[in-house]
């Protein structure tokens, strides 16, 4: 009896310390690492974030009742490095590859859109097939992958990686590249901007893929403790059509915005 009491008294402080320290292992919030990439991720003048990728993550965290924080404008490669090191928790709008799967849990939430090659309006000839891209200088956003056929052909092309679509179309405007690769949705938005109006056109070649777009959760971050809950929330909201509805609202809002700009012009 005395021995049992002695053991109980001896381990009591350890048990208390463990119970007190357990909550410290659970993060107070989840951090999303993003760069300014309109219209998916838009850094507003007041420092807040908007865009359909942001809305997707907000919907997931609201569903889970987990607070969300968002980084300052962080270059895409820097976000990947932070994910590798567990210095941030989430990224959105990713394509899956073995390298990323090594340090992220990849959760599909959307189907990728068709990508097009945009050129200047006076571009000679047409781009109808992948072989037409040879000997052309092509801009592509750093870190992005496209259709399987294009990726197999990539090593034969003269690709110039850019940090954003706006930067790429700026290079196209100045003649530093001949073609700029972008999704049909984002590309059409950009070429209809007032500063680019009438200067560019889409080439016939389209890269279509059914490969999903993913949310990445760092396996090294404290938030990985919520991996199963986050995965379940992504699956539920995707199957219920919430993400598709967010994208449709975003497209409708951008269409209305373009129409207002045309009226003002």
188-223 per-position pLDDT tens digit: 888 888 888 899 999 999 988 777 889 999 999 999
Query: Are 258 and 128 contained in the same domain?
Result: no
Residue 247 clears pLDDT 70, i.e. is over it: yes
| Domain boundary, last residue among 208, 226, 250 | 208
Query: Are 66 and 133 contained in the same domain?
Result: no
With a pLDDT cut of 90, the percent of the chain lying above it is 57
How far apart, in whole angstroms, are the C-alpha atoms of residue 90 and residue 221? 9
Confidence (pLDDT) at 46: 93
Q: How confident is the model at residue 19 (pLDDT cuts 50, 70, 90)?
A: very low
Name the least confident of 15-24, 77-86, 136-145: 15-24
Name the least confident of 6-15, 104-113, 245-254: 6-15
- Give the tens place of pLDDT for each residue, 53-73: 999 999 999 999 999 999 999
Query: Are 188 and 151 contained in the same domain?
Result: yes
Average pLDDT of span 150-171: 90
Mean pLDDT score across all residues of the chain? 86
| Domain boundary, last residue among 187, 208, 229 | 208
Q: How confident is the model at residue 264 (pLDDT cuts 50, 70, 90)?
A: low
How far apart, in whole angstroms, are the C-alpha atoms of residue 61 and residue 234? 10
Domain count, the chain: 2
The residues pairing with 218 across neighbouring beta strands, listed in sequence order, are 104
Residue 163 clears pLDDT 50, i.e. is over it: yes
Query: Are 102 and 217 contained in the same domain?
Result: yes
Q: How confident is the model at residue 87 (pLDDT cuts 50, 70, 90)?
A: very high
CA distances from 171 to 180, 192, 251 (A): 9, 16, 26
What CATH number should be reported for the domain holding residue 70? Answer: 3.40.190.10
Please state the length of the chain: 265
| Domain boundary, last residue among 184, 208, 232 | 208
Query: Are 106 and 216 contained in the same domain?
Result: yes
Query: Are 103 and 220 contained in the same domain?
Result: yes
Confidence (pLDDT) at 255: 65
Residue 50: inside a domain, yes or no? yes
Query: Are 78 and 145 contained in the same domain?
Result: no
Confidence (pLDDT) at 131: 94
- Give the tens place of pLDDT for each residue, 26-43: 889 999 999 988 778 989
Query: Are 56 and 82 contained in the same domain?
Result: yes
Confidence (pLDDT) at 95: 85
Residue 221: inside a domain, yes or no? yes
Beta pairing, strands 49-50 & 158-162: unpaired
Residue 6: inside a domain, yes or no? no
Residue 158: inside a domain, yes or no? yes
Say whether 226 sits in a helix, a strand or coil: helix
Q: Is the bond leading into 39 cis (omega within 30 degrees of zero)? A: yes
Query: Are 146 and 231 contained in the same domain?
Result: no
Domain hosting 48: range is 30-110+212-262
Query: Are 223 and 235 contained in the same domain?
Result: yes
Query: Are 119 and 38 contained in the same domain?
Result: no
């Amino acid at each position: 009896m005395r021995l049992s009491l002695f053991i109980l008294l001896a381990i009591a402080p350890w048990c208390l310390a463990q119970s007190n320290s357990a909550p410290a292992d659970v993060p107070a919030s989840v951090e999303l690492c993003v760069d300014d990439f309109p219209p998916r991720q838009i850094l507003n003048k007041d420092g807040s974030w908007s865009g359909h990728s942001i809305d997707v993550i907000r919907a997931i965290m609201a569903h889970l009742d987990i607070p969300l924080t968002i980084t300052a404008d962080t270059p895409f490669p820097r976000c990947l490095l932070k994910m590798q090191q567990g210095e941030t928790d989430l990224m959105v709008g990713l394509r899956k590859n073995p390298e990323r799967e090594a340090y992220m849990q990849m959760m599909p939430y959307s189907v990728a859109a068709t990508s097009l090659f945009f050129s200047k309006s006076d571009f000679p000839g047409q781009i109808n097939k992948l072989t037409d891209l040879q000997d052309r200088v092509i801009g592509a956003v750093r870190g992005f992958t496209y259709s399987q056929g294009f990726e197999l052909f990539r090593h034969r092309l003269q690709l110039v990686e850019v940090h954003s679509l706006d930067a790429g179309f700026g290079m196209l405007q100045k003649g530093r590249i001949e073609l700029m690769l972008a999704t049909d949705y984002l590309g059409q938005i950009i070429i209809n901007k007032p500063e680019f109006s009438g200067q560019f056109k889409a080439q016939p070649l389209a890269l279509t893929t059914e490969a999903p777009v993913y949310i990445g959760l760092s396996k090294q971050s404290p938030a990985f403790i919520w991996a199963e809950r986050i995965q379940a929330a992504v699956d539920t909201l995707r199957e219920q059509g919430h993400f598709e509805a967010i994208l449709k609202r975003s497209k409708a809002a951008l269409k209305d915005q373009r129409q207002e700009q045309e009226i003002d012009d």
